[in-house]
C-alpha cells in the first residue's frame, strides 16, 4: 500500500476498496459544496458508485496512466488528489483534486499539490504539470497561484457543470521553473 506522509497532519494513500465507505460518507456530507464545481457528484449516489470509481483508479494505476490518492488530515479522510491527463509525448501531466468542505482553508490541498508536483518533476521526470479550475472557483485557483504556477489562459465553455458550461483557467508549471 502506497502511503506518503507529507507532515504530522497530512498523508496521502493510494485508494483501495476498503476506503469506499469513508469516501462516500465524505462526499455525501459535503454534496452542496462539491456539486458547485464537480460534475460527478450527483451521479455518485451509493457506495457502489464510489467502489466503481476506486476500481477504475486502481486500473489506471496498474496501467501506469495516473493515480488517485486519498488525503487524510489528522487521521480523517479529507479529499482526493491525483494525476490525470498524461501526455507522455511532451511529458505533461495534470493534477485534479477536491476537498470535503470541513477541511477547506487549512492548507491541506496546497501541501498535497506541492508534493505531487515535485513527484511529477523529480520522480516521474515530467516537464510540465497542469491544473485546470473553473474560472469562478477562487479557492481552487488559489492553490496553483500560491505554488507559483503560471496562468496560461482560459478555455471558454471548458466544462459542463450542472447543465451549464463554465470557463476554465489553465495553470502550468514547467520543470525548469519548479524550485
For residue 77, what is the domain's CATH number? 3.40.630.30
How far is it, in rounded angstroms, from Cα 25 to Cα 19? Answer: 10
Structural domain contains residue 141: no
Structural domain contains residue 60: yes
What are 85-112's pLDDT values in tens digits?
A: 899 999 999 999 999 999 999 999 999 9
Structural domain contains residue 107: yes
Would you state the cell numbers that stand for residue 147, as one nine-digit string? 505554488
How far is it, in rounded angstroms, from Cα 58 to Cα 61? Answer: 5
Structural domain contains residue 96: yes
When divided into structural domains, the chain yields a total of 1
What are 134-179's pLDDT values in tens digits?
A: 999 999 999 999 999 999 999 999 999 989 999 999 999 999 999 8
Q: Which residues contact residue 1 at a Cβ distance below 8 angstroms, ignoring those fewer than 6 apart? A: 13, 14, 16
Q: Are strands 128-134 and 92-99 parallel, antiparallel or unpaired?
A: parallel
Q: How confident is the model at residue 1 (pLDDT cuts 50, 70, 90)?
A: low
Provide the residue range defining the domain that includes 48.
Answer: 3-127
Q: Phi and psi of 111, rounded to 5°?
A: -65, -45
Structural domain contains residue 150: no
What are 11-53's pLDDT values in tens digits?
A: 999 999 999 999 999 999 999 999 999 999 999 999 999 999 9
How far is it, in rounded angstroms, from Cα 58 to Cα 160? Answer: 26
Structural domain contains residue 39: yes
Structural domain contains residue 64: yes
The whole model's pTM is what?
A: 0.93
Structural domain contains residue 174: no
Amino acid at each position: 500500500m502506497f502511503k506518503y506522509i507529507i507532515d504530522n497532519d497530512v498523508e496521502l494513500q493510494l485508494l483501495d476498496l476498503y476506503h469506499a465507505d469513508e469516501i462516500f460518507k465524505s462526499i455525501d456530507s459535503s454534496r452542496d459544496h462539491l456539486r458547485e464545481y464537480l460534475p460527478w457528484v450527483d451521479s455518485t449516489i451509493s457506495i457502489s458508485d464510489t467502489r466503481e470509481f476506486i476500481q477504475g483508479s486502481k486500473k489506471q494505476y496498474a496501467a501506469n496512466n495516473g493515480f488517485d490518492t486519498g488525503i487524510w488530515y489528522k487521521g480523517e479522510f479529507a479529499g482526493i488528489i491525483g494525476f490525470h491527463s498524461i501526455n507522455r509525448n511532451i511529458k505533461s501531466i495534470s493534477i485534479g483534486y477536491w476537498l470535503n468542505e470541513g477541511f477547506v482553508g487549512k492548507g491541506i490541498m496546497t501541501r498535497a499539490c506541492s508534493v505531487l508536483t515535485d513527484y511529477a518533476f523529480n520522480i516521474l521526470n515530467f516537464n510540465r504539470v497542469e491544473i485546470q479550475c473553473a474560472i469562478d472557483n477562487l479557492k481552487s485557483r488559489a492553490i496553483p497561484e500560491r505554488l507559483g504556477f503560471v496562468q496560461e489562459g482560459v478555455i471558454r465553455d471548458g466544462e459542463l457543470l450542472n447543465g451549464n458550461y463554465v470557463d476554465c483557467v489553465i495553470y502550468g508549471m514547467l520543470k525548469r521553473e519548479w524550485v
